[in-house]
Amino acid sequence: MQRSNDEICIIGLGYIGLPTAAILASRGWSIIGVDINPRHVAAVNRGEVPFVEEGLGSFVAEAVAQGRLRAQATTPKAGVYIIAVPTPFKEEHKVDLRFIDEATDSLIPHLVGGELVILESTSPPGTTEHVRDRVAAALPHLADQIDFAHAPERVLPGRIMVELVTNDRIIGGTTRRAAERTRDIYATFCEADLHLTNARTAELAKLTENSFRDVNFAFANELSLICADLNVDVWELIELANKHPRVNILQPGPGVGGHCIAVDPWFIVSTVPTRSTLIRTAREVNDAKPQWVLEQVHGRLQEHPGAVVAALGLAFKPDIDDLRESPAVSIVDVLARDIAPRELLVCEPNVDQLPASLAGRNIVLVPLEQALAEADVLVVLVDHAEFRAVSPLVVADKHVVDTRGMWRHR
């Protein structure tokens, strides 16, 4: 595809926006990234990445050095806009569209007709139409002259730069023309199949994928509770059950986190609450798991009053620094309050400072060696590579709450 002279503006330089900007720049597009976080803007303009993502650094450094990527705080005029901002939920798990609305409002003054607006943010069905209608209300004379599409990301943190290229992509337009224009842009870097549909179906497809995974995680987490009551090793049970040719049970954990699986199912539930009882129940099972973990820790502390406690891991999955919706963070938050004023040791090898919600309290970020040496009770919340490398013999004399089954043979 021949590149347009128009620049692509990507609003939101987070875990999805910046990789998308970098991969597009690597394919010859001129990219302007916009972010309200001055730290992100400054880092990108230095050719650096403000978070951990395998392989992203070299893409960003090269794109900035060659003048194909730059970042700023305000939205400029562009031919194509990609909105990649967070979509959290608010009371009763209803979507909070504040960031999408702010991004939309920031581009409206620059529209003259002929632009393409792509929403990448994971959203409830109807959100792309909401963006279209918001623009049309502000610029009614351009209502039929601007295209709108939804192209949800389908990537795994830690493998984003690979999966942006190798994973199929679903592209939904409010019109066929919008879907085709979006496909032509994404085809410049995506080597997998690009499936065109309408915007509402594309929105629901992303939510469906993550709800499917959430239901399966809930099954594993509920099994872990059953096995604990029956004194059965849940990891051995799952390993044996998975030897059936048509069974593939996931692994349990301290809950379910991340920017997608812990959030997206609620968008379906809040949109059609009377029809989504299974999805709601799965969310409730997974959301309740951290409390069960806390009960196990308190049981150890009742047996060993005054014991030094160390929590291992804060990220929502192994070997990344992403703490969004992490059950480990919520567990550490409550546990620190419960044992105050005693200090809670925390080891998270992928961050160099505690998140704001945990900072300034009785929580100390420590190296792994210190946690292993000083703690009497170890709470394994994430199976980072550094933790997996520890021999079970090293923790043989510790009181362990292992939510990942990492040291179960110790």
Q: Please, what is the average pLDDT of the chain?
A: 95
The number of angstroms, rounded, from the C-alpha of 202 to the middle of its chain's C-alpha atoms is: 18
**For residue range 369-381, what is the model confidence (pLDDT) as tens digits?**
999 999 999 999 9
Nearest to 223 by CA among 406, 405, 409: 405
User: For domain 8-192, which CATH number applies: 3.40.50.970, 2.40.30.30, 3.40.50.720, 2.150.10.10?
Assistant: 3.40.50.720
The residues near 317 (Cβ < 8 Å, ≥ 6 apart) are 157, 158, 257, 258, 382
- Domain boundaries along the sequence of the chain: 8-192, 232-402
Least confident of 4-8, 240-244, 282-286: 4-8
**For residue range 4-43, what is the model confidence (pLDDT) as tens digits?**
446 999 999 999 999 999 999 999 999 999 999 999 999 9
Provide the CATH topology of domain 232-402.
Rossmann fold (3.40.50)
Tell how strand 147-150 and strand 169-173 pair up.
Answer: antiparallel
With cut-offs at 50, 70 and 90, classify the pLDDT of residue 410. Answer: low
Least confident of 16-30, 219-233, 239-253, 255-269: 255-269
Neighbours of 79 (CB within 10 A): 14
Instruction: List residues with catalytic annotation.
Output: 206, 260
Predicted local distance difference test score (pLDDT) of residue 1: 38
Predicted local distance difference test score (pLDDT) of residue 41: 97
**Mean pLDDT in residue range 286-305:** 96
pTM for this predicted structure: 0.88
**For residue range 302-338, what is the model confidence (pLDDT) as tens digits?**
999 999 999 999 999 999 898 989 999 999 999 999 9
CA 164, CA 162: separation in Å to the nearest integer?
Answer: 6
- CA distances to 19, 42, 158, 168, 259 from 36, rounded to whole Å, are 17, 11, 24, 30, 19
Asked whether this chain's domains 8-192 and 232-402 adopt the same fold, the reply is: yes
